[in-house]
Structure 1
Amino acid sequence: MSDLNRVAKRMYNIHPKAMSLVVGDELEGTFTLKSAEFFQTEFQAEGTRTGDDALYRFATTDDNEAVIVGRQAAGDDGWSMVGEVTSVERIDE
């Protein structure tokens, strides 16, 4: 069995506490995961970003090399691809 994705593992270990995430070149902020789980090596999570009313979904790619992010704006039925998580940091409270 292959190893767990290190970004996904870090997100899982920090959750449910707030974390600072950088997603690609366009998005960074404080995120709180409402749920996070592994299905063998596949990671899935859902959460929100402080100051944003959108819902975010996180999942590892098929090759387990990256954690990708989708965003659903409030009142919107569809999801849009945001990018790949490039940095995860614990926020000390």
Structure 2
Amino acid sequence: MAALNPIAKRIHNVSPDPVRLTLDDGTTATFHVTGAEFFQQEFQAEGTRADDNADYRFVSSEDNESVLVGRKGPADDGWSMVGAVVDVEPADAA
């Protein structure tokens, strides 16, 4: 079996404690991730961001090389792609 995505493993290991994620566009924010699970190699989780009122979803990419972030606004505008996670650390370490 192939290795699990290291970013996904780190998110899984830190949650449910707050996690500080850096995205590929340079954005850094603190998220409260819940329901982080692996289905074989595939990763998925849900969460909220500390500074807005939207829902977030975290999933592994089709090739399992990235963890992608989607955002659903509070006005039920549907899901939009936010970016890919490039760094993970516990929020209290920032």
Indicate the TM-score class for this superposition, using the shorter chain for normalisation. over 0.9
Q: CA deviation at 1:11?
A: 0.1
Q: CA deviation at 1:77?
A: 3.9
Q: CA deviation at 1:26?
A: 4.9
Displacement over 2 Å in runs of 4+: none
CA displacement 1:48-85 (0-9 Å, x = unmatched):
01011010100001111000000000022410001100
Q: What is the percentage of aligned positions where both structures have the same residue?
A: 53
Gaps of 5+ in 2: none
For structure 1, which segment, 59-68 or 20-29, has the greater mean C-alpha deviation from structure 2 after superposition?
20-29
Aligned counterparts of 2:91 and 2:27: Cα–Cα separation in 1: 17
Aligned counterparts of 2:63 and 2:4: Cα–Cα separation in 1: 11
Alignment of 1:13-24 (within 5 A): 13-24=13-24
TM-score with structure 2 length normalisation?
0.92
Map of 2:69 onto structure 1: 69
Gaps of 5+ in 1: none
Residues paired across the two proteins, number: 93
Map of 1:29 onto structure 2: 29
Aligned counterparts of 1:57 and 1:70: Cα–Cα separation in 2: 5
